[in-house]
Chains A and B, each alone.
Chain A
C-alpha cells in the first residue's frame, strides 16, 4: 500500500514538473510546426522559455488606478492551472489527489482562472480590457457547459464523475473509445479545448490587432513577471486540456493503481508523446483554418454543445440497450 502511495506521489510530482517545464515547450513546438508549414524558419521550440526568462527579468509595472483584481488575476490563473495540473490523471490514475480529480472541481477551477483574468482585464478600465473580458466571458459561458456535459457522457459508464475512474474504465476496455458516445464527446471536447485556449478559429494567439483579440485583449496591460505568469498559465492550461483529451480518449500508457515505477515512467513518456502529438495536430489544423467572424463563434460552440448532449443521450441509450 505504501509502495502504491509512493509511486502515486512520484507520478503526481513528475506530472506537475512535466507540465511546468513542458507547457512552454508545447507552445514553442506548435509555433515551430506552424512556421515550418508556412515556409518560415521559426523561432525554435525553446523560444517561449526565452521569452518567459526575458519577461521575468523586467520590472513589474501597474497601470494607474488598478486594484487587487488586476494584481491577483495572474496568481489565481497560474494557481488554478497548477492545481488542475496536479489533480488531473495525466501520468497516473493512482494519484494521492485522485479524490480531488472530480469533473466538476476541475471545470470550476478552469473557470475560476478565466473569470479572474476577465476581472483583471475589466479592472484596468481600458476599452480593450473590457472588450476582451466581455468576449472571453461570452466564450466561457458556452464552453463550460460543453466540457461538463461531454465529460458527463463519459462518466455514465464509469458511474462516477471522478476523472481517474473514467480513465481506468476506458483503459480496461479500450474499445469503448470507439463507441458513439465517446466519439461525439471527443469532438465536442476538442472544439471547446480550442475555444478555451484561444486558438484559431476562435481567437488568433499571434495577432497584433487589438480590436480582434479575445484573450490577448484582456492581458494587454500586463507586463514583466505578471505577463510571464499569464503566458505560462495559458500554456499550462493548453497542456492540461490536451493531456486530458489524451487520457480520456487515448488512455494507453496511463499508470494505474498497483503498478510500479516502470509504469510511471511509461506514463510520463506516454503523456509527453500524446500531448505533443495532439499539439502538432492542432497546429497543423490551424494552418488550414482561418478565424471565424466573432458572431459565428457562438454557432460553433452551440454545435459542440449539441454534440456533447448527443453524447450523453447516446451513452444512456447504449447503456440501457446493453
Chain B
C-alpha cells in the first residue's frame, strides 16, 4: 500500500506547494475534498504521480484548515484547469470561496437554488424551495451573420441521462458548444456519512450504474487503507479480473453503439449479442449482470471463474466486428478525422482514460497506481485523438483485457477471499485509485472516531473529461455530435454526485 505524504499547510502556502507538485514533481491533481471539522473547514488536495517510469508512485496530500466564518482559499485555477472546477464544486456544496477564481459561476448548484444554501454542510437540512435565482444560466451568445442556436435536452430521445447542450451553429458547423450538466444531484456523498464502511459498498456500486466494479474497488481500497486492512493477494487478483470484465462489456457495447450511430446497425446487433454473452457470464461469476457483489471490503468473491475459452471466443468475435467496421469505407470515413482532441488540449484539461490514451497521453492507473501485481500490461495509445482513435483504443483494450483475465484466472480458484475484518480504529483517512473502464476513479474516505464514515469524496473520470467534449467538437458538424458524444461516452451520474 502506497504511503501518502500529508502536509498540513496554511492557505497562503497552497499555491506554492501546488505549483511545485504540478510542475517538476510530475503530479496531477486527482481530487479536492472539503469537509467540516471543529471550528471550520478542512480542504484536502490530493496530488498523484505515476509510478512506472519515475520510481515508485507518489501520493501527496495538502491539507488546508479554514475558519467557519470566512472560508476562503486561494484559487489554483491558474495552475490547473481541473482545480478550477473542483473549486467551483466545493464552493457550491460547502460555501468555501476560491479567491480570484477566473470563472466564479455556479457549477453544481443550479441557479434556482437559493443563495447561502450549501447542501453538503451538516446544517443544510432538507432541500429548500426554489427561489432567489441569480439570473439565467450565462450561455455565451455567439453572434454574427447566419449564426443560430440549437438547444438540445435536458430531456433526450432514447434512454440517456439529462444534460442540456447548446450549439451555436453557422450552417451545419459548430462554432461553440456549451454543455450544462448537474440536473440530477443525488447527494450520494452525503448519504455515505454516518454509515459503517461495509454499508457504504452498496452506495459505491451505484455511483454510476455501468461502473459498479470500478467505484466499488476504489471505495474498498480507500476503506482498507483507512482501516489498515490487509487484502490477500488472491483477492486483489480476483478484483483485477472483475475490473476487466466490466471494461469488456462496456467497451463491446460502445463499439456496437458507435457503429449504430453511423447507421451500420448490423454490427451493433452483433456487438449486443456479444454483450449479452458477457452479461450472462457476469451473472455466473458474481450473481449480478452488472458485477455487483464481486468486490467486497477486505476481499473479493468469484462464484465461478470466467472460462478462458469463452473469453477467447469473445475476443475473436469482437476482433471480427472491429475488422468489419474499419473495413467499411463509409464507417471509416465517418470515424476518421472526426472531432480531434489534441494531446495538448487533453493534457491541459487533465483528461483521463481512453479519451486521453486516444490523444496520445500514456496514462493508465492499472500500471501507474497498481493495487495488485497483475504483471506486464500493455497500455494502448493512439495519437490522432479522433473518433477513430477512441474506437481503436477501446477495441485493442478488449484484446488486452481478455489476455489479462486469462492470465490471472490460471492462478485463481473460485470462492471468497477475505482478509482480516475491517474494523473501526479511530479517525483515519484512506485513498483508493482504480482504473475503471472510463478512466481513473479516485475515492477518498475519512472515518470518524467511532469507525463510521464522516466524509467520502468520489471523483469519476467523467468530471475531468466532460470539458474536453466541446473542445473536440469545435469545427465539427452538428450531425456528427451524437457519434462524437458516444465516442467519449461520459457518465452523467458519476459526474453529478
Contacts and interface: CB of A to CB of B under 8 A. Distances in A.
A74 to B, nearest CB: 21
A206 B266 CA distance: 13
B481 A200 contact: no
A291 B330 contact: yes
A291 B262 contact: yes
Interface residues on A, range: 20 to 34
Contacts of B273: 39
Contacts of B151: 127
B262 A294 contact: no
Interface stretch (A209-217, A221-229, A234-242): A209-217
If over half of A's interface residues share one DSSP class (helix, strand or loop), that class is named, otherwise mixed; here it is loop
Interface of B is mostly: helix
B150 A289 contact: no
Interface residues on B, range: 20 to 34
A287 B482 CA distance: 21
B270 interface: yes
Given A39-B273, A201-B263, A290 B477 contact: no
Interface string A26-39: 00000000100111
Contacts of B148: 127, 130
Contacts of A290: 259, 262-264, 328, 330-331, 334
A292 interface: yes
B261 interface: yes
Contacts of A287: 265-266
Interface string B248-292: 000000000001011111100110010000000000000000000
Nearest to A202: B263
B266 A38 contact: yes
Interface in A249-291: 287-291
Contacts of A68: none
A38 B482 contact: no
A131 B269 contact: no
A296 B329 CA distance: 13
A127 B164 CA distance: 14
Interface string B155-196: 001100000000000001000000000000000000000000
Given A208-B158, A289-B263, 15 more contacts: A38-B265, A38-B266, A39-B269, A39-B270, A127-B152, A131-B150, A201-B330, A208-B157, A211-B150, A291-B264, A291-B330, A292-B333, A293-B480, A294-B172, A294-B479
11 contacts: A207-B263, A209-B157, A210-B157, A211-B152, A287-B265, A291-B262, A292-B333, A293-B479, A293-B480, A294-B172, A294-B480
Interface of A: 34, 37-40, 127-128, 130-131, 200-201, 204, 206-212, 287-296
Interface of B: 148-152, 157-158, 172, 259, 261-266, 269-270, 273, 328, 330-331, 333-334, 477-482
